[in-house]
Amino acid sequence: RREAEAKAKAEQERAARDKDPEPKKREHTRPPTVIVDREKGASYRRIGFLGEGGFARVYEVVDDAHDRKAVKVVNKSNIKTKRNKTKLWAEIKLHQMLKHPNIVRFDECFEDSDNVYMVLELCDHGSMMDLLRRRKRYTEPEARFYLVQLIGACQYMQDMNVIHRDLKLGNLFLDKNMNVKVGDFGLAALIENPGDRKKTICGTPNYIAPEVLFDTANGHSFEVDVWSVGVILYTLLIGKPPFQTKEVKAIYRRIRENRYEFPEDKEISASAQNLIMSILNRDPLERPTLDEILEHSWFHDGPFPSHVPVSANDGPPDFF
Ligand code: ADP
């Protein structure tokens, strides 16, 4: 019964999401009902609205083989500047070369006179941020399951010399089987020569590593993604990011001072706290590597589920 209820609720939420919430004034920028890739002779029928980000709107579509996909649409009027064009092409180039079970699959890319379209794997259960809002916190077994998948994706990105630079719950999506898919490569960077360091200040305030903000002379590298993994783990287990406050400046101050606490009313295991503290080290060279994180005892300290049930969208699953 629980499963049936969960299914009905998910359907309701999907229906709500499917209502295109765009205001009327933007109507002229809405993509056609049937989006056509003329070069390949493929078409995608728009059936719902999934979400909106900085530049893009993301729609659910059905392709010619009746498969459901997500299409990320960027209106050309939004990428008039050279800088924005370069950013979009970088996102496409990087995302296109990444093929991993825990990274949103990039299928196609094409344009018409109005928009650039990216056809992506559909992630039925939205982002992990959506789930956190509904659930408030994740259980430790769920966090173990998701963290192993996230770290797998991070290891692959490092092998491909890609730093994501914007890992956060809002950019981690869940597919129909509740597996993690890393998405949104809008801030990702390619390390073209070993040892190269990046100097652009970017990221999302709550998840940004201290060296990005305070060591601009020296630059940053792959360790910024490790930092974000620590912020993600804390957020999953506690329900809000460690350095969160109302003002961005105050968040940065807390990051600089490494000031965060484990609230007493939200009990988490000592080994989880230990792992989080080791990752949230101000010195990037002192942080554990991805392999070292996976070796931490927390991963063996309690149940490790083989999968997460869809019912986890509405309430804590029972893994015992
Ligand atoms: P931006 O790069 O502009 O921030 P995102 O890639 O974050 O855009 O996408 C915006 C929103 O669209 C997301 O928050 C999510 O709700 C939805 N979305 C994006 N990609 C997918 C996908 N592959 N499957 C399902 N929903 C998606």
| Ligand 1 neighbourhood includes 51 CB (under 6 angstroms) | yes
Residue 11's pLDDT band (boundaries 50, 70, 90)?
low
Q: List pLDDT tens digits, range 77-133.
A: 989 999 999 999 999 999 999 999 999 999 999 999 999 999 999 999 999 999 999
Query: Would you say the CB of residue 172 lies under 6 angstroms from ligand 1?
Result: no
Residue in 71, 72, 133, 178 to alter for ligand 1 test, most ligand atoms within 8 A of Cβ: 72
Euclidean distance between CA atoms 253 and 251, whole angstroms: 5
| Per-residue pLDDT, 30 | 84
Nearest residue (by CA) to ligand 1, atom 13, is 51
Distance from residue 69's CA to the centre of ligand 1 (Å): 12
Whether 282 has a pLDDT exceeding 50, the answer reads: yes
**What's the ipTM?**
0.95
Task: Tell me which residue has tokens 């390390």.
Answer: 191
Distance (Å, rounded) from C-alpha 208 to C-alpha 214? 11
- Ligand 1 contact, 104 CB (< 6 A): yes
- From the alpha carbon of 183, which atom of ligand 1 is closest? 6
Contact predicate 110/35, CB 8 Å? no
- Rounded mean pLDDT of 256-272? 95
Which is nearest to 238 in space by CA: 111, 140, 118? 140
50 lines ligand 1 (CB under 6 A): yes
Ligand 1 in contact with 74 (CB < 6 A)? no
- In this prediction, residue 23 carries a pLDDT of 40
Q: What is the rounded distance in angstroms from the CA atom of residue 315 to the CA atom of residue 320?
A: 15
To the nearest whole percent, how much of the chain has pLDDT over 70? 91
- Ligand 1 centroid–CA 116 distance in Å is 15
Ligand 1 atom closest to the CA of 58, numbered from 1: 12
- The pLDDT, as a whole number, for residue 7 is 62
Radius of gyration from C-alpha coordinates of the chain: 20
- Does pTM top 0.95 for this prediction? no
Task: Give the amino acid at 257.
Answer: E
Atom of ligand 1 nearest to the CA of 171: 7
Nearest CA to ligand 1 atom 5: 53
> Distance, CA 181 to ligand 1 centroid (Å)?
11
Instruction: State the pLDDT confidence band at 4, using cuts at 50, 70 and 90.
Output: low
- At 161-218, the pLDDT tens digits run 999 999 999 999 999 999 999 999 999 999 999 999 999 888 899 999 999 999 989 9
Residue 28 confidence (pLDDT): 41
